Amino acid sequence: MKSILIKVFILLVFWGNISCKEVSDNPVAETEIIPADFSQRTYKIYIPESINTHEYVSLVFVFHGAFGNGAGMERGTGFNQLAENHKFIVCYPDAATENWEEGCMCNKPYRLGIDDIGFVNFLIDKLSTLYKIDSKKIYAAGYSQGGLFAQNVACKLSGKFAAVAAVASSMSVQLFESCKPENKISLLIIHGTEDNTLPFNGLESGSFSLVSSPSAFKLWGNINGCNSEEKAEILPDKGDPYISVIKRYYENCTGNIKTILYEVKGGGHSWFTSPDINATQTIVDFFMSSPTK
């Protein structure tokens, strides 16, 4: 009986956390996917009660991890509460299949011809017709494989997004080599050094290889025209005995664009809710303080 109870507890803990293996509430069969029919794609949206219907507001996209969905990200991140305080709309899109087209030209959505970048463009246009969206204040955050996709969004849609954040992910080797955004864009990475799913120091795995997060950080520093040496500061210990956080950043970037890496020493594959670093609060603060388009 004790063994059964332990197993039940482990299952409850697993399903209660955001994970790159979170099962979708509405799995989609391959035969049902119509790559170019964005009207059939799904998403969740949160409209804060604090918004005045006559004012233009910011829009934040939040991309789930592999095998996840927008509903899971809405439940697990706490963006809605901060949206009330800061008056921004939150959109939680669903991938057409279990992964996003992250720019590696290697995974299932790429093979199926799924245009996830086009889907994001479609959502911006659609939501802008339904709500008063400030086109200069559009942002994106992603977790795990959704973080890989968020960086693809930064590479491909830099003219529409003011800032992008990636949590528990770096960048595919293919995207690293091909990323040439048209505009500078503020970029934030939050990544644990003990991440065994999408390793902080990169991964050599053929078509699915990843560069390290420090390498991705340096790439964005170059893209953003940062002409200073990398700066680093240790964040104050607020009581978490398992992790410590180093903030790495560049100064003197073009147009005061921000380029930041939070290196979470001892952190695993997680959307951090530690007193030492809360991913959602850190991302919202980053978005709200980044230069607009």
Q: What tens digit of pLDDT does each residue of 199-220 get? A: 999 999 888 899 999 999 999 9
Residue 232 lies in a domain: yes
Domain that includes residue 266, residue range:
35-289
Is pLDDT of 21 > 50? no
The average pLDDT across 181-186 equals 97
SS3 call for 34: coil
- Residue 15, domain member (yes or no): no
Average pLDDT over every residue of 96-109: 92
Domains held by the chain: number: 1
pLDDT of residue 35: 59
Intra-chain end-to-end CA distance of the chain, in Å: 60
Query: Which residues touch 189 (CB under 8 Å, ≥6 apart)?
Result: 165, 166, 167, 169, 170, 213, 216, 217, 260, 261, 262
pLDDT at 36 over 80: no
Report how far apart, in Å, the C-alpha atoms of 100 and of each of 28, 86, 119 are: 13, 28, 11
Please give the average per-residue pLDDT across 3-32, as a whole number: 36
- Whether residue 186 is contained in a domain is answered as yes
Can you give the pLDDT at residue 34?
54
H-only helix segments in the chain: 2-16, 70-77, 79-86, 108-112, 116-130, 145-156, 173-178, 213-223, 279-289
> Which CATH number is 157's domain given?
3.40.50.1820
Give the tens place of pLDDT for each residue, 106-132: 889 999 999 999 999 999 999 999 999
In a domain? residue 11: no
Q: What number of residues does the chain have?
A: 293
Query: For position 11, what pLDDT does the model report?
Result: 33
What is the rounded distance in angstroms from the CA atom of residue 223 to the CA atom of residue 195?
26
Q: Give the model's pLDDT for residue 81.
A: 96
**Model confidence at 166: pLDDT above 80:** yes
The predicted structure's pLDDT at residue 53: 81
> Can you give the pLDDT at residue 207?
82
